[in-house]
Structure 1
Amino acid sequence: MKRGKTTFLKLSVVIIGCIFLSLCIFWLPWLARNTVEMNPEYGYLKYPVLIGVYTTVIPLFIALYHALKLLNHIENKNAFSELAVESLKYLKYCAIAIIILYVIGLTLLGFQNVLHPSIAIIGGIIIFAALAIALFAAVLQELLINALEIKSENDLTV
């Protein structure tokens, strides 16, 4: 049953990755083109915003890769290992990178007086979600480190 759960989670991570990849390839350029057609005064922001969004996708895909690695460790009964701690560390760093990139992007848009409230709300939701993931990964990482210390002490006493 455990293998079925990790397989489902792996499939979910792959589907999330495919959705984000297809959005980046097809939907974002279409959205940028339509936005510039409707608001030509913001045409100069088309490529900087697209580059900013594409830059934030890089840590997302790195995080998805490390989530798959973590699920492989769990599936191979290697969940309590330094490799799992390393995967959680990369998940935390990727979430922090996404937070930093979105804060910088929203700040730059705010300084140029082009930060629409809906864009600010979407950016805030992304920042909040990434913050929750970073905190959750940090807590899990600390718990796993403590469990590894207890396990090593237990192995020495036996």
Structure 2
Amino acid sequence: MKNNYSKILNIIVSVGIILTLIMLAGLPFILGALSKSTSINIESKYITVMTAIIYICATPYVIALFNLKKLCSHITSKNPFSESIPKLINNIAYCSFSEVILFNLMNIIFYFIFNIYLYAFAILPCVIVSFLSIAIGVFALISSKLFEMIIDIKDENDRTI
């Protein structure tokens, strides 16, 4: 049964990585099609800026996904109490906190370029992404410390037996 969980977990993370990379690869084409649409008027010089902003914001997310893939392979292996697991969880936390900073910084740059300052559709994603990223980062830091304590207890238990 444990083997089925590890297969499902690896499939879910792999599908997430593949879909993210496909969407990031297709992003310039999607923005190009939107710029040619009559209802959305985006100048072509802004498409490059928008693509660069989205790629910069997606970088910590993709790094965190690959760290999650490594974490899943470590946890489902024969040694789930590896010393590298807290490091991977810390990397995910750092990626999450850097996502908050990058996303809000890029949104400020984006707002000044397109002159959309305080519209509700511009503020709401900032609040949601910031809250979720901070919550994921705090949870990852707590999980990392908890995992370090578990590894120490297991090592102490192995030495006494």
- Residue 33 to residue 114, structure 1, CA distance change in 2 (3 Å): farther
SS in 1 for 2:80: coil
TM-score, with normalisation over the residues of structure 1? 0.84
Equivalent-residue separation in structure 2 for 1:58 and 1:142 (angstroms): 25
Q: Within 2, Cα distance between the matches of 1:124 and 1:30?
A: 28
Instruction: Report which stretch shifted further, 102-111 or 3-12.
Output: 102-111
1:91 is aligned to: 92
Q: Is the 8 A contact 2:60 2:98 kept in 1?
A: yes
Task: Show the counterpart of 1:75.
Answer: 76
Shift of 1:104: 0.5
With over 3 angstroms needed to count, the CA separation of the structure-2 counterparts of 1:36 and 1:117, relative to structure 1, is farther
Structure 2 residue aligned with 1:121, among 110, 121, 124?
Answer: 124
Q: How does 1:16-95 map to 2 (within 5 A)?
A: 16-26=16-26, 28-37=27-36, 38-40=40-42, 43-95=44-96
Q: CA deviation at 1:111?
A: 4.0
- The residue aligned with 2:103 is 102
- 1:125 partner amino acid: I
Question: Is the alpha carbon distance of 1:68 and 1:22 closer, same or farther for their aligned partners in structure 2, counting shifts above 3 Å?
Answer: same
TM-score by length of 2: 0.83
Identify unmatched segments of 5+ residues in structure 1.
none
User: Aligned partners of 1:118 and 1:18: how far apart in 2?
Assistant: 28
Q: Where does structure 2 lack aligned partners over 5 or more consecutive residues? A: none
Identify the structure with the greater helix proportion.
1
